[in-house]
Structure 1
């Protein structure tokens, strides 16, 4: 696992693919300010990992 926030999780596979999964999506539209901040923080944390070649949103 690369990053885990209240709003998303990023996992990394050996072949260079990272999967971004939204968490706590009880409401139909979770793309509010806290979610965007959580995703931004997770992606920023992942950005320093040179073994990640692709990010897939799940």
Structure 2
């Protein structure tokens, strides 16, 4: 299964991603790196450095 993990470069997101990879899933991590770290991204994942922001005027 393809899985998208938001906040994937943080502690919880990276641990969840590692478990999903071990279970055979294809994992994409999405993080703006404001609190996460690029070094935390597990090997075998696709990493998207981006921010999801909704602005209301």
Higher relative contact order (CA 8 A, sep 6+): 1
The TM-score normalised by the length of structure 2 is 0.36
Question: Structure 1 length as normaliser, TM-score?
Answer: 0.35
